[in-house]
A and B are shown apart, each in its own frame.
Chain A
Amino acid sequence: MSTLWRFSRFVSGSIQIVRRGEPLYWGWICVLLALIVSGAMAYTNQLHRGLIVTSMRDQVSWGFYIGNFTFLVGVAAAAVVLVIPAYVYHWKPIREVAIFGELLAVSAILMCLLFVMADIGRPDRFWHLMPPLGYLNFPRSILAWDMIVLNLYFAVNFVVVTHILYRAFWKRAYSKRLVVPLVLLSIPMAIGIHTVTAFLYNGLSARPYWNSSILAPQFLASAFCAGPAILLFALQLLRKFTHFEIQDEALHKIAELMAYAMFLNLFLHGAEAFKEYYSATEHLLYTQYWFQGLDGHRTLVPFAWSAVTLNIVAFSLFITPATRRNWVTLNIGCLATYAGCYIEKGMGLIIPGLTPDTLGEIYEYAPSFNELRVAAGIFAIGFLVFTLMLKVAVPILLSEFTVDSAPDGEPSRARVPQTAAVH
């Protein structure tokens, strides 16, 4: 019972922190809430009229939602880039930022699950996936695997983060017996969620663009670029707006790791492009549609080349020590990485995979306004959760906010705050 009481103190303390903030904080929250409301309205429209309000059709049966889902699984998986050195090698500078990687993973997985919910035709039947009431086609269906590993990964990261913060709130060290095994488990799981997501596409012989064994490694490589890119932004903002100390060395190390990941990503893409163009079988059509367009259908071509350009720019900036230590070029590199991977992993993976369709028809897909609004709403939910979690985590980790500064709960046990006595 006392554990429950302690935990409720932790929760009410967290709510107190979330309710305090400067105008900038509230402005950001309002922007996110506005996007969420707009997304919810668009989603209601989609529920009412069906997925016909999107641009997806039988020819291109997956689109923007599934593209974002794939990209965000990568972002969630990339938390390991920070977790591996932090926990396994006890490498100090990154250790303090690893928990933010886990927070990012939790928000990213949440967005992934929401994107899947937005994409399915009958969200009211979601429980059909959940035994014993429903039926999960496991182990045959890869989507069944994906649902299991995504939810487990979400749970593992959520438990670790909550435990560390809860203990810090009560001014106690976290339990190594709980955290270390879970963190060690989360490392293979992070690789697992992205591999399984790649297999979701990889296993479909009907789609030659995806049916290539290079897909899973390529997924991991681009994930280890995009995930840290988001985190580098978040960490710089944290440093600016809070007292949290993050050493330059840690940020530069992340940038260096990103350079290697980006090299691998470009190399794997190059290997795939070589195979397609040199052998020039009928499977070349999909790659051609992406890079050159087919029969005058060129909607995706500008996106393809901007992704390539952005990725090369990012690689050059991160591999050069001088430019990854310069804050301006570092941030340009992050932006380029994020944008490059987002294009290549979202639209660049899903759409050419389905165009031309299995019977050779070219249906040019571009997301509808309704689709964009729903997607923006889901991103806003993810950012809102990430913001609120950071808002709670930072003061607790800095020991600026503990049980002493959260007078609440049972009157007999709560301490009388000093400031209240003065006034």
Chain B
Amino acid sequence: MTAVSANPAVPASRAGRVLPRAATYVALSVAAFVSVFPFIWMMISSTNTSIDIIKGKATFGSAFSTNVANFFAQVDVPLVFWNSAKVAILATLLTIAVSSLAGYGFEMFRSRMRDRIYSLVLLTLMVPFAALMIPLFMMMGKAGLINTHIAILLPTVASAFIIFYFRQATKAFPTELRDAAKVDGLKEWQIFLYIYVPVMRSTYAAAFVIVFMMNWNNYLWPLIVLQSNDTKTITLVVSSLASAYYPDFGVVMIGTILATLPTLLVFFVMQRQFVAGMLGSVK
């Protein structure tokens, strides 16, 4: 078996192939086109009037500057962007700090009690948000936090998924480094801060990309909690523009572009970390 696959005379290229080569390229091209088309549509539509968009005009038009002007007239863009950025970045940093501490703690200091608590944490992965939002809303109401960004941060920072991610990643952390640091007299928090964090920086980068995307795109919880225009995030603003009785799709397209741009940018700059972050959970 080994001899066969090592033999260059036998083409290994047919291994695991389901379709002939040409059909493979056709199928993948179709899938790629379907996947990318809505993004192209978004770009084209941002240059068309609302009527042209719902009539399916698939060529670039001349309404781009009008759409942009209308969008800026209807939306306080710097404020909305600032709200989104503030919430997403703070939530991401806090989530990563809390979760990496916990992931490290659960893996490095194992005890029967903590292992049980960890199982409980994992179980919360299956709890749908719908089952939490009513009590959370009532809690935030009692605490006087409705319509504040703190109310968005608090529940999102508690992420079982990211704790799981960090614990899995910590299994690959070389314990010799920790032992050596202990011999040198470093305290546990110093080992974490000065050795674990730098060594695990690619894990952190991947987590950053994933958590940032989740928070930037977060919708249901902000929809419930943020009720006035001065606290709303870009996702909420775009959604409410599009839900109007007669939405101006040209204006809406500018909004969707602005809402998608940061995540698109992060994706293209850090694609490797993005995929690594996603896969981190199944390793």
A and B: real partners?
Answer: no
Residue numbers of A with Cβ under 8 A of B are none
B binding-site residues for A, Cβ under 8 Å: none
